[in-house]
Structure 1
């Protein structure tokens, strides 16, 4: 299975790749160089329960917290701008999905949207580097948004699938926090 997905499409990862116990999710973008402040993009993984909310704030994976509470989701330093390793075997049963998003650093000196991002993609690879699926995000709306959900790994019965999402936000990190229960006491 190798292919490019469109928004809303999904791919059966473990069902079509027997023995697949982990994947690497790579996030890549091309940005127009700027002589002034440039948009600083912050990729993150949100480990969610069945209600779509993060299990705990320790289950956010981003530059300042490089692995989830159970260490099943963690940052790698490899070829894409950001790579996140997901170990299916270590993910607790309470996890329903892992959301991969990018938001614009809310620094007041930064641009207010993703307009300088010309292309962005997310790809899912086997541990040996073999690409399983890729999702190149449409960029025509980048000048309107400041965060985007790229895709999600989700549990379907006993298998793992990947869904291409491409949902943009005009509310940045605030919108991601609200939709996924980030920062709420459980």
Structure 2
């Protein structure tokens, strides 16, 4: 099962790969060269319960917090520009989905949108490097957004699936925080 997904499409990962116990989620982008400040992108994994909200602020995974609370989701800087490894066997039962997003660093000197990003993609691979699915984000809206949810790894009954999302935000990290309950005590 190798496939290019479109926004909203789903792929059955473990049903089609019964021996799959872990995945590597790679996020890559190509930026238009600039003489001025360039966009500084921050990939983020948000580990959510059934209500779509983060279980705790310890369940965010990014460059400054490389593991979630269970250590099943881990940020790694590898062959893709950014990589997040997920040990499917170790993900707690309370986790319904893991959201993969990218936001623009809110540094006042940075560009205000993703307009300098020529292309962006997320791919899900088996630990041996075999690509299972890929989603290339359509770039026509990059001049209006400063954050985007690329995809979701989610449970469906006893199986794991991946959904291509492509939902852009004009409110950056603030929008992601509000939609997923980041920074709020449960």
The TM-score bracket by the shorter chain reads over 0.9
Partner of 1:59: 59
5+ residue gaps, structure 1, are: none
Give the 5 Å matches for 1:91-110.
Answer: 91-110=91-110
Secondary structure in 1 matching 2:132: strand
The 1-side partners of 2:42 and 2:76 are apart by: 15
Instruction: Quote the offset at 1:76 in angstroms.
Output: 1.7
Q: What does residue 48 of structure 1 align with?
A: 48
CA RMSD of aligned residues (A): 0.4
Q: Does 1:74 align with 2:74?
A: yes
Once the two structures are TM-superposed, the CA of residue 75 in structure 1 deviates from its matched residue by 1.1
Give the Cα separation in 1 of the matches to 2:170 and 2:67.
Answer: 27
Aligned to 1:16: 16
Matched ranges for 1:126-137 at <5 A: 126-137=126-137
CA distance in 1, matches of 2:114, 2:76: 24
Instruction: Report the equivalent of 1:145.
Output: 145
Q: Distance in 2 between matches of 1:18 and 1:185?
A: 37
1:44-89, CA deviations, whole angstroms, 9 ceiling, x for partnerless residues? 0000000000000000000100010110000122110000000000
Secondary structure of residue in 2 paired with 1:160: strand
Alignment partner, residue 28 of structure 2: 28
Other-structure match for 2:37: 37
Q: C-alpha distance in 2, partners of 1:96/1:14?
A: 15
Residue correspondences, number: 186
Following superposition, the deviation at residue 14 of structure 1 comes to 0.2
Secondary structure of the structure 2 residue equivalent to 1:4:
strand
TM-score (norm 2): 0.99
d(CA) in 2 for partners of 1:22, 1:85: 7
Moved more, 160-169 or 70-79: 70-79
Shift of residue 94, structure 1, vs aligned partner: 0.1
Segments of 5+ residues of structure 2 without an aligned counterpart are none
Distance in 1 of aligned mates of 2:144 and 2:2: 31
Deviation of the 1:19 alpha carbon: 1.0
CA drift of 1:33 comes to 1.2
Structure 1 consecutive aligned stretches of length 4 or more whose deviation exceeds 4 Å: none
